[in-house]
Structure 1
Amino acid sequence: MTGAVEFPLDLPEMSVSFDGETEIRRTILPSGVRVLTEHMPGSRSATLGYWVAVGSRDEQFTNHGAAGSLGSTHFLEHLLFKGTYQRSALDIAVSFDAVGGEHNAMTAKEYTCYYAKVRDEDLSMATTVIADMLTGSIIDEAEFDTEREVILEELAMSDDDPANVAAERLYSAVLGDHPLGRPIGGDRETIAGATREGVWQHYREHYASSTLVVSAAGAVNHDALVREVVASLDTAAHKRPEWSITAESAPHARRPSLTTPIVRGEELTEIERPGGQINVMMGVPGLISSDPRRFALSVLNTVLGGGMSSRLFQEIREKRGLAYSTYSFSSAYSDTGLFGLYAGCTPDKAGQVTELLYDEFLRVAHDGITSSELSRALGQLSGSSALALEDSDVRMGRLARTDIGTGTFYDLDETLRQLAAVTPDDVTELAQELVSRPLSTVVVGDLGSAQAGQKIQKALEERR
């Protein structure tokens, strides 16, 4: 089958085959739980994910990262590993260590995922254990206080990395008071003020059948996985009736794909930190996840800062030796996005690097890209896309993000077709639009050294 495939929320069963080999199946249970699988011939392992369509953006603004009336997605992600009615934290850890499996979780801005990668013969165990974690957590008070300290250590570790600090602040600088501008993990103040009652309320309010998507890829049998999911939820319902497999409920509606007007937070954010480098990040509001121009954005990102042959890498590192790391990046969400540029350099080079970052961005918008750059970008994107899909982790995540996000699935062939349709004019027009949007800059480092802060301010003022 070719072309994009829609995942409607009112279709109980669907099956799609690609290239006569890969088969994707989806079942929506009466309770609203969605189960998706992609069988990968020849695989001896599988990656499984339990996804909940709630992220950091769904917390109350005054309680981001902490547990007020809604609670914290990040705090809860940690706590679900700390024990259930049936299993202790050690039991959960031993279940996966004993079979050489991997298990972890991640909190994002629009979803949370608990996942594992195991041999095919251990998939039943992984399904049962993660389901128990998700549905049967007791959020013990003592464990809550212990994990608070762990999260504070995690935040401290992140805060010691100037590039991480710059990235976190860039979102708030570009997106302002929009919920997506808030940090996923919260901060020391909000985590210190979190309460067990707040997290418990968040858990009971947002973790339910209608918000749950189970996806798996690799050596997986769809019908067997559905049976395991049903059995696990049936067990959970004895303690938590909201997970009943007989209670009828429609899947949770997807977020509307409508661009939200953005009011910029800050034009220039300066964060003084000791260290040998100045970290410079620039960003503008980007595209939403359903924007058809996202394929042109992928090309733009690749040409500008997506590899060793990109303009930023060649101009800043190869030709001038001004930085070790420089790149561009983009992220897309249901109602807004972010497109950014980064470079890390010594303080005496900060002004020149800032100039070059912005100038290369402007040059793409004013002069466009060459046919050879387009061809090279398409080759890079095609190859990296194909190589990524060798990994069951990627395929598992692709299924769930599609069902939670836009509901439109693109296989590799359709993705390559969409990329091949991108023209140099498409890239130029998009770059012109992005350049016209309010630019925010975040700099982190020893700004007084070599008058780095003054040089950066001067470079930005000259380009306004």
Structure 2
Amino acid sequence: MARPGATPPGTDRHAVGTIRSAGGSTRAVTRTLSEDPLGGTVRRTVLPSGLRVLTEAIPAMRSVSFGIWVAVGSRDETGPTAGAAHFLEHLLFKGTHKRGALEISSSIEAVGGETNAFTTKEYTCYYARVLDEDLPLAIDVMCDLVADSVLEPADVETERGVILEEIAMHDDEPGDEVHDLFARAVYGDHPLGRLISGTSDTVTPMTRRQIQTFYRRRYVAPQIVIAAAGNLDHAAVVRLVRQALRGTPLDTEPASPAPHRPAAPAVRTRAASTVVQVKETEQAHVVLGCPAIDRLDERRFALGVLNNVLGGGMSSRLFQEIREQRGLAYSVYSYASQYADSGLFGVYAGCAPGRVDEVLELTRTELARTAEQGITEAELARGKGMSKGSFVLGLEDTGSRMSRLAKGELLYGNLMPVNELLDRVDSVTLDDVNTLAADLLARPMSLAVVGPFANRTL
């Protein structure tokens, strides 16, 4: 339920340019999505090309975060191009028809700003954070590099070496590697089970032509969301974006925005198994878990509460039992990952190799106990408080607010107002959580292990 004065998702408070053609709108269409007392005014404009621009105006801030989000990630790659999305993320900073790599970085750093990018399994983001007065510069630079990079052959070879070093560095981090091993145990050869970076076997032979084809086929206006939050004017942002994209490959014929990634058909998962990566490490790293729910599942709010109770903080069951009371591990936590058509629930622990059996036994016992007996009213209240607090506190910088706008549009198809989300968490009942726990935690569990276990069964 929205606060008084807030606008429900999908309601047009102010709309302009509503003349439409068969392929989309011939004019930009703007509407106000919300005027939230806990935030600023959120507006959304759909350009004729199908590219969307969302902003949240927060006059009290003196900074602006500006991001370009593309609905393309590692799961959109074929086997031979595994790692192309991540490769491209590196290459777009290497130069455009207007700017070289040094000018891209130095122009933003000269005004005290910062730029970066990241690739996930379902989307890629390029962003900058600058003073409000330098937003026009950030828009011009970021739109230029995303829309009109040249992908010079020499740059492809340079970044190939950088990415191979990044892959090698990742292999030297067993605490990260075990999560990838767990995903592979659950998803197998499905793209959700592959490394976002690709492997040396796929990155080494990948050609410039393959990357260029991936770039131009995937980086199209209907698949792109631009989001900005901070001290800004929506109309000015839209005007600057249109100016920056004019004459680029993203300045295209009228089209409708692409819908958010569909949830069907459901991803097939593998039967529960144990996968061990043998490494002579000082510490063993384990993840025990199972397939879970997708991001549009109505039970996601209950899962957030359940996750907090089990391993979401220092007061959680697993942290108290394994670390505080027994001192068996320094790090232990649970987590949930959600995709358009699938999800994961896992428990991670890092401990001495000789303590793995005990840690796993305690973890399995706690999961089974929670599945059978559920959680208590006190734990429900604490789990809800953690969910609400972490969400609201996470919105205290422009970067988080910018990300919220983009993810709402790109992943969910709408932006849930802050207080509606808090209401959804508040509405979770003890029965909701316990019913989910009885289902989820009783599922067969896969186990991923990285450590010195060459001649040992786990």
TM-score interval, normalised by the smaller of the two chains = over 0.9
Aligned partner of 1:87 among 99, 104, 118 = 99
> Hey, what's the Cα distance between the residues in 2 that align with 1:128 and 1:153?
31
1:31-430, aligned counterparts within 5 Å? Answer: 31-65=49-83, 72-234=84-246, 237=247, 240=248, 242-244=249-251, 247-258=253-264, 260-264=266-270, 267-430=273-436
How far did residue 17 of structure 1 move? 1.1
> Hey, what's the Cα distance between the residues in 1 that align with 2:106 and 2:326?
52
> Hey, what's the Cα distance between the residues in 2 that align with 1:286 and 1:123?
40
Residue 68 of structure 1 is matched in structure 2 by none
For 1:5, what is the secondary structure of its paired residue? coil
Q: CA RMSD in A?
A: 1.8
- After superposition, the Cα gap between the structure-2 partners of 1:444 and 1:20, relative to the gap in structure 1 and judged at 3 Å, is closer
- After superposition, the Cα gap between the structure-2 partners of 1:4 and 1:435, relative to the gap in structure 1 and judged at 3 Å, is farther
For 2:133, what is the secondary structure of its paired residue? helix
Question: Whose helix proportion is higher, 1 or 2?
Answer: 1
> Hey, what's the Cα distance between the residues in 1 that align with 2:327 and 2:245?
57
- After superposition, the Cα gap between the structure-2 partners of 1:340 and 1:273, relative to the gap in structure 1 and judged at 3 Å, is same
Give the count of matched residue pairs.
440
> Hey, what's the Cα distance between the residues in 1 that align with 2:38 and 2:302?
29
Residue 15 of structure 2 is matched in structure 1 by none
> Hey, what's the Cα distance between the residues in 1 that align with 2:370 and 2:306?
8
How far did residue 243 of structure 1 move? 2.1
How far did residue 63 of structure 1 move? 3.0
Q: Deviation per CA, 1:289-330: give whole Å up to 9, x if none.
A: 111110000000000000000001000000000000000001
What stretches of structure 2 of length at least 5 have no aligned partner?
Answer: 13-23
- After superposition, the Cα gap between the structure-2 partners of 1:187 and 1:292, relative to the gap in structure 1 and judged at 3 Å, is same
Letter in 2 for 1:378: K
Letter in 1 for 2:292: G
How far did residue 19 of structure 1 move? 2.2
Give the TM-score normalised by structure 2. Answer: 0.93
For 1:243, what is the secondary structure of its paired residue? coil
8 Å contact 1:177–1:265 — kept in the other structure?
no
Of 384-393 and 177-186, deviating more is 177-186
How far did residue 425 of structure 1 move? 1.5
How far did residue 340 of structure 1 move? 0.6
* Seq. identity, %: 46
> Hey, what's the Cα distance between the residues in 2 that align with 1:433 and 1:4?
33
> Hey, what's the Cα distance between the residues in 1 that align with 2:309 and 2:366?
10
> Hey, what's the Cα distance between the residues in 1 that align with 2:207 and 2:265?
34
- After superposition, the Cα gap between the structure-2 partners of 1:62 and 1:49, relative to the gap in structure 1 and judged at 3 Å, is same
> Hey, what's the Cα distance between the residues in 2 that align with 1:159 and 1:213?
33
Letter in 1 for 2:212: W
- After superposition, the Cα gap between the structure-2 partners of 1:195 and 1:62, relative to the gap in structure 1 and judged at 3 Å, is closer
8 Å contact 1:24–1:36 — kept in the other structure?
yes
Residue 462 of structure 1 is matched in structure 2 by none
8 Å contact 1:175–1:265 — kept in the other structure?
no
Off by >3 Å, runs of 4+ in structure 1? 1-4, 6-11
> Hey, what's the Cα distance between the residues in 2 that align with 1:261 and 1:93?
40
8 Å contact 2:285–2:450 — kept in the other structure?
yes
Give the TM-score normalised by structure 1. Answer: 0.91
What stretches of structure 1 of length at least 5 have no aligned partner?
Answer: 66-71, 458-464
> Hey, what's the Cα distance between the residues in 2 that align with 1:219 and 1:127?
14
How far did residue 73 of structure 1 move? 0.3
Alignment partner of 1:22 is 2:26? no
Residue 440 of structure 2 is matched in structure 1 by 434
